[in-house]
Amino acid sequence: MTDQSNMMALPHLQHKPSKLRLARVLGFALLLWLAIVAVGGPDLIGQDPAKQSLLSTLERPSLAHPLGTDHLGRDMVARLLSGAQLSLSLAFLSVITAGLPGTIIGITAAWFGGWIDRILGAFADAVLALPGLLLVLMLAAMSPGSWWALYAGISLTLWVEYFRYTRQRARIVLAEPSVEASRLLGLGPWLLVRRHLIPEIGPGLLTIAAFGAATAVTSVAALGFVSVGIRPPTAEWGVMMTELLPYWREAPFLILQPVGCLVITVLALHLSVGGMRRP
């Protein structure tokens, strides 16, 4: 019997953290890359995403057009970049406009409790009872093709999640003896939020934010694909999918490009917060 065999190590437990860390690093790298691409947009390559050239349609990748051209001879790289700009800016803004009020209302409800909590909770339930897609469709129908309608619709459906999560967690945290101790020591509301609430619910909120951003990106594409969201000729991933679908036999590499972009974006958002739990 060797000494080695006497060990009772649990190897699977020890390897887990490094694997998760790798996934998160990959997710963050992808996100960073997407952010640079989205900020730069089509200007990065100096091509106009709307410039048509009917003499060179459905071209294979070449030096002039690294990812080929679409059915109207427009450069695919420029169009994908323009789509990234649109989708990611919308996702980013809707997460902020949904997240901040959602969190603040959630903390308010948990803090005061009683009838304030009940009214806010009932309001959130009412919003939740309305299917999210329906609200977006309604707003899109009121002002067709508008970026603002999409943005407002998505934000209005996303905030409830933040509200419910924050309220639930904050109620538990605020009932802890440590909060009672801090109050007894004379610490004010801002310190209670900063020392007790933010460290406890922050990581969870980040996870919701990343998943919410992914939902926003897919919603924009889905609405574009069924022709109620952004209208052509604006380059948007969902719109591009619809436009390129008829040509999938002649140029299958074209339709795959917006689909790939969507998959990479959602994957990056999910990876970056995966495994974000208690240390």
Partner 1 sequence: MIYSIEVKDLSVFAGSTHLMGPVSFKVKPGGTLVIMGETGAGKSLIAQAILGTLPGVLRAEGEITVNGRRVDQLYQIDRAALWGREIATLPQEPWRALDPLMRSFKQVKEAHRYVADRQAIEADLATTEAFEALGLSGAEQRLPGALSGGMAQRVAFAAATAANAPILLADEPTKGLDSARHAKVVGLLAQVPQAGGTLLAITHEASVARHLGGTLIVMRDGTLVEQGATDAVLKTPSDPFTRDLLNADPQNWPKTQSHTTAETVLTVRDLAVERGKKCLFEGFNLDVHAGEKIALTGPSGIGKTTLLDAIAGLLKPASGTVTRGQSLPRHGVQKLYQDPPAAFPSRVPLVHTLRDVARRHKTDWSRVMQFLEQLGIHPSLLERLPDEVSGGELQRISIARALTVGPKVLLADEPTSRLDPITQRETLLMLDRIAEDEKIAIILVTHDQSIAQKWADREISLV
Contacts of 237 (CB under 8 A, 6+ apart): 80, 83, 84, 87, 220, 221, 224, 258, 261, 262
Rounded Cα gap, residues 183 and 176, in angstroms: 11
**How many other CB atoms are there within 10 angstroms of residue 136's CB atom?**
25
Length of the chain: 279
Instruction: Give me the DSSP letters along 11-41.
Output: HHHHHHHHHHHHHHHHHHHHHHHHHHHHHHG
Asked if 125 is part of the footprint of partner 1 (rule: CB under 8 A), the reply reads no
Tell me how far, at minimum, the Cβ of 2 lies from partner 1, in Å.
11
Q: Which stretch binds partner 1 (CB under 8 A): 7-15, 21-29, 76-84, 106-114?
A: 7-15
Q: For partner 1, which is the closer residue by CB, 125 or 176?
A: 176
Element (H, E) at 224: helix 198-225
Question: d(Cα 272, Cα 7) in Å, to the nearest integer?
Answer: 35
Taking the complex as a whole, the smallest distance from the CB of residue 10 to partner 1 amounts, in Å, to 5
Shortest separation between residue 102's beta carbon and partner 1, angstroms: 22
3-state secondary structure of 226: coil
Tell me how far apart the alpha carbons of residues 71 and 52 are, in angstroms, rounded to a whole number. Answer: 9
Applying the rule CB under 8 A, the residues between 8 and 27 that interact with partner 1 are 8-10, 13-14
By beta-carbon proximity to partner 1, the closer residue of 199 and 233 is 199
Rounded CA-CA distance 208/81 in Å is 26
Closer residue to partner 1, CB minimum distance, 144 or 199? 199
Among 43, 48, 125, 176, binds partner 1 (CB under 8 A): 176
Instruction: Supply the minimum distance, in Å, between the C-beta of residue 182 and partner 1.
Output: 7
CA separation for the pair 95, 147 (Å, rounded): 15
Binding-site residue total for partner 1 (CB under 8 A)?
25
Nearer to partner 1, 54 or 185 (CB): 185
Span of 111-119, 171-179, 252-260, 268-276 interacting with partner 1 by CB under 8 A:
171-179
Question: In this chain, which of 2, 6, 54, 129 binds partner 1, going by CB under 8 A?
Answer: 6
Closer residue to partner 1 in complex, CB, 43/176 = 176
Instruction: List the end-to-end C-alpha distance of the chain, in Å, as a whole number.
Output: 37
Residues 199 to 228 in contact with partner 1, rule: CB under 8 A: 199-200
Residues in 177-196 at the binding interface with partner 1, rule: CB under 8 A? 177-178, 180-182, 184-188, 191, 195-196
* Cα 22 from chain centroid (whole Å): 21
- Which residues lie near partner 1 (CB under 8 A)? 3, 5-10, 13-14, 176-178, 180-182, 184-188, 191, 195-196, 199-200
